[in-house]
Every structure is written in C-alpha cells, then in structure tokens.
Amino acid sequence: MNIHEHQAKALLKTYGAPVAAGVAIFSADEAEAAAKSLPGPLYVVKSQIHAGGRGKGKFKELGPDAKGGVRLAKSVEEVVAFSKEMLGNTLVTKQTGDAGKQVNRLYIEDGADIERELYCSLLVDRETGRVAFVVSTEGGMDIEAVAEHTPDKIVSLSIDPDTGVTAADTAKLVETLGLTGAAASDAQSLFPVLYKAFVETDMSMLEVNPLIVMKDGHLRVLDAKVSFDNNAAFRHEELKPLRDMTEEDAKEIEASKYDLAYVALDGNIGCMVNGAGLAMSTMDIIKLYGAEPANFLDVGGGATKEKVTAAFKIITADPAVEGILVNIFGGIMRCDVIAEGVIAAVKEVGLTVPLVVRLEGTRVKEGKEILDQSGLNVISADDLDDAAQKIVAAVKGH
Ligand code: ADP
Ligand code: MG
C-alpha cells in the first residue's frame, strides 16, 4: 500500500523526524486558513498523488507554460490562487504515465531555505536479506538519472537487524553525505529514527528525496514516499485509514475486496487460475505459444461461487482482454464451483471473447457437465498444453 506525502510525513514526525509544518486540504476554500496557520513568508503548495516527479510534472488542463505540481508561493494570496488552479486537474509526471493522475488534495507546507538537496531511501535489500540505506549527495532530481550516469554517487549500506543502526553506520552515512555541524548532529537521531519507522510499520520502501540541509545548517525531510508491505497489513490496523482508493487500479481494488490475488498485466489473454504456481506456469505457457497474459489471477484454494464470479467479471471488464483461459486444478477447489461461477458471471456480463476451459481434479465430471449444459460457447481443453494452444489460436483468429 502506498500513502501520500503528507501522511508519510505525519507518520515520520511521530517518530521524531524533522518535518516542516503543513496542512492537507481537499478544497480551495481551505487554502487561506491553511496558509495563515503557517509561519510564512514562504509557502509550498504540493499536489498529493501517489507518484513522484510532481515538481517537474505538467497539468493537462493548464498548457505547457503553467507551473508544475509543486509550487513555491510568496503570499497567502498566491497559495489560494495556486490551490484553485491545481485542485481537480490532472497532473502528468514521469511516473504517472500519459493518463496522469487527478489531484484531489494538496499539502500546504512551510517553505524551507535550502542549502543542499540529498537523497536517502530505505528498502529491503534482497541480496543481503537486510534493510538497507541508499544515499546520495545528488538529491532532489531524478535519482534514476544519477543511477544511470554516475552510479558511483549512490552508496548502499545494509543494516544488521540484531543491532539496528549503529554509531558506525551513522558515521558512514554522515561521511558519505558530507554532513557537518548541526546536520551531522541531527543525523545521529534521524537515521536510527527512519530505520525504526521502517521496521516497526513494515514498510517495503521509504524514500526521502530530497533530504535537505537548510541554510541554518539543520536537516529536514522535504519529501517522503512510503510503501507498506501488504503481507504485513494484518498487523497494522492503525495504517488502514491511510489508504486512498482513488489512487489505485479499479480492477485491483475489486479483486482485493474478494481476497483474490490479482495483478493487471499488458497482454490480451485473461487468465483465471487456482494456485500461484499454476498461475505462473499458465502465464509461461501462454508466452511459449507466442501470446501475452492480461493478468495474473489466483482465485485461491476454497473459492466460493461468488469469488469466482467476481474474478471472471474483473477479467472481462478489462478492454484489452481478447480471450479467456480458465485453468483449474481442483484439489480443495471444486471444478463444479468454478463452472457455476463462470456461468453466473457470463449471465451478468455476457461473453464476447473466446473462452477456453481446462478443468482437472475434484468433481471434474460435474464441472464439465455444468458447462456443457449451459449452452455457453466454451472450448474445452484436456491439459495445460492443449489449453494454451487453443486460447492462443482462438485469439489470433484461426
Ligand atoms: P517531487 O519529488 O514529486 O517532484 P518534492 O516534494 O521532492 O516533489 O518537491 C520538488 C522540489 O520542490 C524539491 O526538490 C524542492 O526543491 C522543492 N520543495 C519541495 N518542498 C519544499 C519546501 N517545503 N520548501 C522549499 N522547497 C520545497
Ligand atoms: Mg521528491
């Protein structure tokens, strides 16, 4: 789960990280009061969307010469004017794709006097199996460009889970970032605090870009991007209210309501499979025969008819889908339940593309009978290989 910058900052603040004062607003009517509650005279109006690159982003509705999604304002009046201009419009950044994202909320923040912009992120390093800091003196701009052109300017440091961030770790980070004076002393608490927040809330990524050294010499978290590990969501009831569904893929939200493991992909063959392993092999074999899957979907072990119906509807709702492959090995899952779910879904949403069904295992005979008697135009297949060839051929039109 991703959250907004203002939420990430509020969370980091509870751990003691230095963040600026700020107020999140949802309508331009709130802009004046928000700005007046801040010290001024410099304010920043920041678009809150789940994507980076907002500063250099462009609003679709405002033309190429308009300012971006993060704007410095020198008065309360300017804050109000920018808020009116930005709210409700669509911001396109490097990370949003061409469609962009609608800005539904803004963060009005105290402006900082910036001396240097640094990069600091924490992530799970799969090679060491540890949480690692990734830091660079080249913050603020596109870190991907730094990684490509000057990779030696990015330094990674894994943290031993038994000790947490040690004095030696902090010293290394301080040296790498060239911190001195007040910034170096702020760093003594900031790095352990970021690590603690990361571990305690089960983040999978925390990116502070930029972390700034201000003109007064102190450090401040100027931007914050956080993703939490969904597999740990069950132990973080307190984080649930932070979810913003307007930022998520509608199909993936629908799937999560039914507890379906669903990931949208770029191909044109919709897949309904049970078991992650079988789902992976199904995608592989579709590729082997020269086509591309439109999704990964694991309906799970003991799926109900309702769950199967929901899954089928999610697949057919994707306009890119030109054919559907149902591949079920009935163990705990029963083939007749799958068949009923498919029929129920087709009754509701219709079937305009070829459907290949391969059923095997528990109650396979009943499942096949249900499909045969339904009058649906189902192409039945005997095994995985046969099924994949049939759906690829059907989609390619021969
Ligand atoms: P994004 O990474 O999405 O572009 P940031 O929050 O990093 O958004 O903002 C972009 C740039 O705007 C920063 O690199 C910084 O130069 C400037 N900026 C952001 N917040 C402030 C602030 N509170 N005070 C002064 N400048 C800011
Ligand atoms: Mg940033």
* CB 80 within 8 Å of CB 88: no
CATH number of 3-7+15-110: 3.30.1490.20
Write the DSSP string, 67-111: --SEEEESSHHHHHHHHHHHTTSEEE-TTT-TT-EE---EEEEE-
Tell me which residue has its CA closest to atom 20 in ligand 1. Answer: 222
In CATH terms, the fold of domain 114-239 is D-amino Acid Aminotransferase; Chain A, domain 1 (3.30.470)
Pocket test for ligand 1, best of 19, 49, 70 (most atoms within 8 A of CB): 70
CATH architecture of 250-395: 3-Layer(aba) Sandwich (3.40)
Summarised one tens digit per residue, pLDDT across range 216-263 is 999 999 999 999 998 999 999 999 999 998 888 888 888 988 889 899
What does the alpha-carbon distance between residue 1 and residue 252 come to, in Å, rounded to a whole number? 12
Mean pLDDT of the chain: 94
Question: Per DSSP, what are the bridge partners of residue 46?
Answer: 70, 107
- Could you tell me if 145 and 181 are in contact, meaning their C-beta atoms sit under 8 angstroms apart? no
Is residue 398's pLDDT more than 60?
A: no
Q: Give the Å distance between the CA of 389 and the centre of ligand 1.
A: 52
What is the CB < 6 Å shell around ligand 1?
A: 20, 44, 46, 52-55, 70, 109, 111-112, 114, 117, 140, 209-210, 222-223
Q: Quote the CA–CA distance of 224 and 46 in Å, as a whole number.
A: 12
- Domain ranges (residues) in the chain: 3-7+15-110, 114-239, 250-395
Enzyme catalytic residues: 119, 207
Distance 114 CA to ligand 1 centre (A): 10
Instruction: Give the number of the ligand closest to the Cα of residue 74.
Output: 1
Task: Please check the confidence at residue 52 and state whether its pLDDT lies above 90.
Answer: yes
Percentages (nearest 5) of helix, strand, coil residues in the chain: 40, 25, 35
Is residue 20 within 8 Å of 220, Cβ to Cβ? yes
Structure tokens at 223: 């931007």
**Mean pLDDT for the stretch of residues 19-38:** 97
| Residues having C-beta closer than 5 Å to ion ligand 2 | 209, 223
0.75 exceeded by the pTM?
yes
Sign of torsion, CA 309 99 5 221? positive
pLDDT digits (tens, 9 = 90+) for 296-339: 999 887 778 888 888 989 999 889 999 999 998 888 888 998 88
Nearest to 212 by CA among 6, 2, 10, 17: 17
